[in-house]
Structure 1
Amino acid sequence: MTDYDNPVRIGIVAGEASGDILGAGLIAALQERIPNLQVEGIAGPRMLGLGAQSLFPMERLSVMGLVEPLKRLPELLRIRRTLRRHFIDNPPDLFVGIDSPDFNLSLEESLKTAGIPTVHYVSPSVWAWRRGRIKKIARAVDHMLTLLPFEADFYREHQVPVTFVGHPLADEIPLQVDTAAAREELGFAPGGRVVALLPGSRGGEVKLLGPLFLQAARWCHQRRPELRFVLPAANEQRLAELKQLLENYGDLPVTLLDGNSHGAVSAADNVLIASGTATLETMLLKKPMVVAYKMAGLSYAIFSRMLHTSWVSLPNLLAQRELVPEILQDDATPENLGAALLQFYDDPLLYDQLQREFDDLHQQLRRNASARAADAVCQLIEAR
């Protein structure tokens, strides 16, 4: 590594809480390598705590869904124009866009055209759908940092410089999970049978999957009365919705939690889960799972035609084969979900084999992600 005698300025934009976590890890690792580091852009509380300067509150970029971004579009465009002018007029040594591809890639393209090296941290799901975006990514990004190995393979195939850094969750979650301690904390008997139900964090997901998951739980409980269920709510709004939903399932032994999905999964034997990023944490906690998803019929018809992968869950994508059942759309019935869950109890060898596979994948992702990301950034700065 070069001795950094002069201050090094890095531009950075994180648009949501997960990006703030990644950004804080990167900044901390860079500070170990670069004593006179200056960071500015858009930062969350963790990054601010490490000395980053934020030109706008991160919350102004934290929009989800289809309607809300449209409502906020004039403001988002104004913020991006201001950042573009600021960084072109005051060029940093390097710019890092963390996730938020709809916002960051256009900004990165402008900055790269102006001669500022650009890094994008966290790949969009371009390998799965809307593959045409790879052309814009190649124009916008000098170097891509990916959390997953198959993403890096995709960029290499398209001649985009890339580094697989590993996943911070894999660094954070221990290789061995203390299920007994998690059960004690939640009040479950040490030797009982526990199933975690994770129907998603969005209102639409809970509306479609919440009743389905509880019906599958009832189907399982009728056949295995010893089963107990734990249902974590992602936020206060989901908590209220799930409380109301559970009024129709008084026969089920369900523990409803306000948050704490990590504890719920840690305490479980296996998990019924909506397809999404939570499947990665569940895999890292070594819990066999059944992955399910439903959406409106027209949306599913469009989405399924755009999809370029054989699987939707991260465990299967990482393994490039079906490790866990994926039961989607019309196939997602209480009977199908329940039967898939019970197979883990009926076949202990399958359960043990799956946990070994998950352990192998965990070790593949456990790469000290922040340090590897910082090394890649420093190499770009030194090359300049």
Structure 2
Amino acid sequence: MSHSRLPVVDSRSDAAPLDHSPAPIPHSPLFVLVAGETSGDLLGAGLIKALRARVPAARFVGVGGPRMVAAGLEAWHPAEKLAVMGLVEVLRHLPELLRIRRDVRERTLALRPQAFIGIDAPDFNLPLERRLRQAGIRTIHYVSPSIWAWREQRAAKIGASADRVLCLFPMEPVVYARHGVDARFVGHPLADAFALQPDQAAARRALELPQDKPVLALLPGSRLGEIRRLGSDFIEASHLLAQRIPQLEIVAPMANADCRAAFESVLARSAAHAGRMHVIDCRAHEAMVAADAVLVASGTAALEAMLAKRPMVVAYRLAWLTHRIITALGLLKVERYSLPNHLAGRELVRELMQENCTPPALADALEPFLRARRVDPALLAEYERLHRLLGGNADHNAAEAVLA
């Protein structure tokens, strides 16, 4: 796949200068990074590596996961502490989240880094960025919240928190431009992580899966709450499919040890015995490429399944009260939830949300893909088009936007 550099262009129509005067990058600059959950850990690790390639003596501290730590982050707190989703769920963890944010703020103010980089986790990072920016520290927010999906007016508030926003999707800087915010499309690192034409046979060999049997990949989410809400439905759907397709192999990659424990707990309580279930640690990319179909929770993993070039069904269920609040307030502005569908501007993949997310419905939607064991050529062509749109060495572009 081509790694030609994407243009990193200021989105603001009235491009005003940043609030802080430019300064030379010192020989040993310090960066504070804060990432939540698995996807943020991947982005942060790639950014650290790209920054270190340009400034070898740079130091990185903050909040991150195992990949960021392996890349050189000195972690103050683990990323999974921030991996809480939903209005109701956050309330239970609010005291600890506030304690961590206060600790990060005080340490950052004491260290006076070259830049603070908040990676996703907007509810945690944006208020923190605002306080730090007011104190004279340059702030960068990496990964725009889904302002194209709901509450576009947040763009101006994000601009008040971040000197610069790094966007993964090309439609995002256009929205920020309407609010005078410096936003840059840098590309999506996941598009660089997948081959344009993935090797299914090689992925099956790596995972020791048979070449001649249908394979279903289950990805019920990287948050514990998602696994508890979706795990049972995913397992029961795979059980129904195993009854219909006796040779079915099922692979369920888990993001970390806690997710694996939560999934295996749901599996142990389930009355369904879902055929040949292989629960594995990490290796989600290989599992998707190896599969004939993917059942995936809505989120970044749906984008990964698209980049793996596999047919999929996207499912999701918010906590009941969270969904009622969002619906009652009219906060959601889109009809399509998953990233593949939004990028395509049409229903490219099947979505089953809330009350439609049931084991029989999931099984019925997946069965044709598992029986066909091939990707429709029209779907494959659209997947490849979107892959090219998002690719272009995003880690490099993000590092350049930070150092600028």
TM range (shorter): 0.7 to 0.9
- Structure 2 unaligned spans of 5+: 1-21
Max Rg structure: 1
- 2:34 alignment partner in structure 1: 14
Q: Within 5 A, what are the aligned runs for 1:1-384?
A: 6-7=26-27, 9-16=29-36, 18-34=39-55, 37=58, 39-42=60-63, 56-58=76-78, 62=82, 64=84, 65-83=89-107, 85-86=109-110, 90=112, 92-234=113-255, 235-246=259-270, 248-250=271-273, 252-259=274-281, 260-304=283-327, 305-344=330-369, 351-379=376-404
Q: Equivalents in 2 of 1:237, 1:217: separation in Å? A: 19
Report the residue type matching 1:271 in the other structure.
Answer: V
Is contact 1:12–1:98 with CA below 8 Å preserved after alignment? Answer: no
Report the residue type matching 1:360 in the other structure.
Answer: R
Calculate the TM-score normalised by the size of structure 2: 0.79
CA displacement at 1:285 relative to structure 2: 0.8
Q: Equivalents in 2 of 1:193, 1:137: separation in Å? A: 45
Cα RMSD of the aligned pairs, angstroms, is: 3.2
- Structure 1 unaligned spans of 5+: 380-384
Q: Equivalents in 2 of 1:353, 1:325: separation in Å? A: 15
Is contact 1:233–1:256 with CA below 8 Å preserved after alignment? Answer: no
Quickly say closer, same or farther: Cα 1:57–1:181, change in 2 above 3 A.
Answer: same
| Cα deviation code 1:106-132 (max 9, x no counterpart) | 232233334443221111233333444
- 1:382 alignment partner in structure 2: none
Q: Equivalents in 1 of 2:286, 2:101: separation in Å? A: 40
SS in 2 for 1:306: coil
Q: Equivalents in 2 of 1:156, 1:4: separation in Å? A: 28
Quickly say closer, same or farther: Cα 1:253–1:162, change in 2 above 3 A.
Answer: same
Quickly say closer, same or farther: Cα 1:68–1:367, change in 2 above 3 A.
Answer: farther
Quickly say closer, same or farther: Cα 1:355–1:10, change in 2 above 3 A.
Answer: same
Calculate the TM-score normalised by the size of structure 1: 0.83
SS in 1 for 2:380: helix
Count the aligned residue pairs: 372
Is contact 1:84–1:107 with CA below 8 Å preserved after alignment? Answer: no
User: Which structure has more RCO (C-alpha within 8 Å, separation ≥ 6)?
Assistant: 2
CA displacement at 1:372 relative to structure 2: 0.5
CA displacement at 1:264 relative to structure 2: 2.5
Is contact 2:156–2:181 with CA below 8 Å preserved after alignment? Answer: no
CA displacement at 1:289 relative to structure 2: 0.2
CA displacement at 1:145 relative to structure 2: 0.3
